[in-house]
Structure 1
Amino acid sequence: MELNIRLAELQKRTIEHREVLLTEEAAKTALVMPFLQSLGYDVFNPSEVVPEFTADVGTKKGEKVDYAICAGGKVSILIECKPSSVQLNVNHAGQLFRYFSVTDARLAVLTNGVVYQFYSDIERPNKMDDKPFFTFTMDAIKPGDIRTLEKFTKAAFDIDKIVQEAGNLKTQSLIRLELEKEFAEPSDEFVRMMAQRVHGGRLTPAIKDGFAKLLAPAIAALIRDFVNERLSSALKASSPVEDLPPGASDDPSDGDGIVTTQEEISGFHIIQAIA
C-alpha cells in the first residue's frame, strides 16, 4: 500500500479520535505505532522498534525514551511521545537531548501523535538542535509532507542523505513561518520596504500607517487571484477520453457496472489540471 494511502487512513483516525486520546499511552497505541507501521517499520519486532528504550546518561539513571528505531544493531531514530492534548515545545524533549549525544542516533522525533517534530544535529555534531528541521501535522497533511516522509520509510532510509537535506528543510520551514507572520501581520520593516518601493516621496508616519493597513489585504487578494487563476485554468482544461480515470468510460451505461457521471469526469479533470 502506498504511503499516501496509509497516511490518509491514519489521518481519518486522528481526526475522529484525537479528543479522547488524553493519555500518552493512548496516543502511542492509537496514533504513533500505526504511524511507524505506515513507514514500514515492524513495531512488534523488538530488535527493530524498541519500546521504553533505556540508556543511562550521567547522573540520570533509568530514564527512558518511548521508542528507539534500530537498524543493523544501532539506534537510528529516537522517539519521545506526549498525550495528544499537549502542545509540544522544546521543554518536552529533555530525554531526547540527553540520549542524542550518547547513542548512534542522528534523528529524533517529538510527537503527541498529531504533530510530529523531527530533529537532527545540523548546527553542532552529536548535539540535538533546539529547533526541528521538519514538522508536520497529521490532521492537516500537505503533499510536500508526504514527499518528505518517504525519506524516513524503512525502504528508503538513508541517514546521510536525510541529514544532508535537513539543513535545507529547516531553512525552508523557518522561511515559511516568517512569511506566514508577515502575510498575517506585516512587520514595520516589511511595510517600510514595500512603501519605499511604491511611494516615491518622503515616507511620513501617516503614509507608513496607510501602507500598513493596505498591505495585508493586498497580499490576501494576490493569493486569492493566484488560486482563482489556477482553478480557471483547470476548468478550461480539455477532457479527452484517453485521460479518463483508470477504469472509467465515457459511456455512462458501460457494461462493467460502473457508472461514471459527467460531474465525476469533470471533477477528475479539474484535479488533474490543478495537480
Structure 2
Amino acid sequence: MENFIQQIKTLSSRIERIRDNIQTEEATKTSLIMPLIQALGYDIFNPEEFVPEFVADVGIKKGEKIDYAIMDGVNPVILIEAKCVHEKLHKHDSQLFRYFGTTKAKFAILTNGIQYKFFTDLEEPNKMDEKPFFVFNLLELRDNHFLELAKFRKNFFNVENVLTTASELKYTNEIKKFLTQQWEEPNEEFIKFVLSDVYQGVKTKKVIDNFRDILKKSLTQFVNEKVNDKLQKALSSTDGSQRDLDVQINNEEVASTKEDELIEELEKVADEPVIITTEEEIEGYVLIKLMLKENIDASRIFYRDNKSYFNVLIDDNIRKWICRLGFNTSNKYIQINDELKTTYKLESVNDILLYKDEIIKVSAKYY
C-alpha cells in the first residue's frame, strides 16, 4: 500500500510540472492517464487487461468507441472516457452515459488526467447514475482518496466489494458537499432548521438574514474548537514540559529571531482582527509532528500562529523554527529553515509530505 501511495504522490507532483506543456487530449492520455492505470497494476500493452479505442456501439450507430476499457479477459469491467487536461468535465457526462448501457461494464470513469469521476448504476440497473459515487483530484489528494482508489488496483479489484461500498460513499460525498455549501453560504432552509431550536420568534426574512453571518461564525468556531480539543488531548498524553537547552546560535539566527519577535509584537498591538488558526494550519502541524515522531519527542514540537505565517517550532522557541506554513492566501507555501530558507509552493496541505526529508534534516540540528 505504501508503494502505491508513493506512486500516486509522484504522479501528482509530476502533473504540477508538466500540465502547462500538455495541449491535446492524446498528450493527456499518454502523460497523465495511462501512468495512473499502470499505477493501479494493469498492463497497458496486454489486450486482455487494457483496450484503447474500445468499440461500444450505441443503437443503430456502429463503430462508436470509448477511449479505454479495462478488461476482465474478454469483457470490459471499467470504461474510461478521457478529455484534455484543460477541459472541464461537466460537459461530457452524457457521452459516457450513452456508452455505459451497451456493455457489461459496471463502472465508468470520466477524467481529464487531474480530476477523476467514478460512476456506476446504483439507482437503476445498467443505467449510469447521473452523479458519480467517487471523485478525486490528483492535485488535492486526501487520505481517504488513497483508500478508495486502492480498491481498483488489479490484484484487489472485486466488483461486488466495490459496489457494496459505492452507495455509502456516494451519499457520504453528497452530504459533505451539502454541508460545505452551507458552511460557505447557508441557505434559508438550513438557517430555519437551525433556528427552530435556538430562536423562538417568527423566522422572517429579516431574522434569517440577520442570523446568516452568526451561523457562519458559529460553524467556524465549532469546527476549530473540535480540532483544537483533539489536538490538546493528543498533546496531553505526552510530557508537555519544556526543556531548557543551551543552543549555540550564529549571528544570522539571532537576526532572524529578532525579526520574528518583532513581527509577533507588531501583530499583537496592531488594530486588526484577532488571529484565527485555521483547520488547514492545524492539519499541517499534525502532519509535521507525525513526520518527526521517530526523531523528536512530540512534547517538544509546538506552533505559533501569526497573521503572516504559521510557525512550527522546537521547544516553543522562536529561535528553533523548523518551517513556516503560508496558508493565509490562495498562494500556499512552506518555507524550510535550511541555509537558503527554501520556499516551496503548495497546492494542498498534503503536499507537505513531499518535503518530509527536508523537514527531518532541518530538525536534526535541534535533537
Same fold? TM cut 0.5:
yes
Structure 2 stretches lacking a partner, 5+ long: 240-289, 298-359
Shift of 1:264: 6.1
- What is the one-letter code of the residue matched to 2:154? K
Equivalent pair of 1:120/1:129 in contact (CA under 8 Å): yes
- Give a deviation string over 1:63-117, Cα, whole Å, max 9, x none: 211110001321110000001111111x413442232212110100000000000
CA distance in 2, matches of 1:265, 1:98: 60
CA distance in 1, matches of 2:33, 2:223: 35
CA distance in 1, matches of 2:237, 2:43: 44
Alignment map for 1:111-130 (pairs within 5 Å): 111-130=111-130
Residue matched to 1:256: none
Residue matched to 2:132: 132
Shift of 1:201: 3.3
- What is the one-letter code of the residue matched to 1:194? V
User: What SS does the aligned partner of 2:89 have?
Assistant: coil
Decide which moves more: 111-120 or 50-59. Answer: 50-59
CA distance in 2, matches of 1:264, 1:174: 44
Residue matched to 1:269: none
Residue matched to 2:224: 224
- What is the one-letter code of the residue matched to 2:32? L
User: What SS does the aligned partner of 2:215 have?
Assistant: helix
- What is the one-letter code of the residue matched to 2:71? C
Residue matched to 1:163: 163
Equivalent pair of 2:48/2:73 in contact (CA under 8 Å): no
Alignment map for 1:6-155 (pairs within 5 Å): 6-89=7-90, 91-155=91-155
Distance change >3 Å, CA 195–CA 168, structure 1 → 2: same
Shift of 1:237: 4.6
Residue matched to 2:174: 174
Using the aligned pairs only, state the percent identity. 39
User: What SS does the aligned partner of 1:76 have?
Assistant: strand
Distance change >3 Å, CA 128–CA 232, structure 1 → 2: same
Bigger relative contact order (CA 8 A; separation at least 6): 1
CA distance in 2, matches of 1:189, 1:222: 20
User: What SS does the aligned partner of 1:70 have?
Assistant: strand
- Give a deviation string over 1:11-65, Cα, whole Å, max 9, x none: 1012222222221111111110011111111112122110111132223222211
Distance change >3 Å, CA 126–CA 205, structure 1 → 2: closer
CA distance in 2, matches of 1:76, 1:180: 33
Residue matched to 2:194: 194
* TM-score for the superposition, normalised by structure 2: 0.63
CA distance in 2, matches of 1:113, 1:261: 34
Decide which moves more: 135-144 or 157-166. Answer: 157-166
- Give a deviation string over 1:191-224, Cα, whole Å, max 9, x none: 1121221123343443322211211122122222
Distance change >3 Å, CA 247–CA 167, structure 1 → 2: closer
Shift of 1:265: 11
Shift of 1:4: 1.0
Shift of 1:190: 1.1
CA distance in 1, matches of 2:13, 2:291: 28
CA distance in 1, matches of 2:361, 2:54: 54
Equivalent pair of 1:244/1:265 in contact (CA under 8 Å): no
Distance change >3 Å, CA 265–CA 38, structure 1 → 2: farther
Decide which moves more: 18-27 or 114-123. Answer: 18-27
- What is the one-letter code of the residue matched to 2:84? P
User: What SS does the aligned partner of 2:118 have?
Assistant: strand
- What is the one-letter code of the residue matched to 2:100? F
Aligned length: 254
User: What SS does the aligned partner of 1:152 have?
Assistant: coil
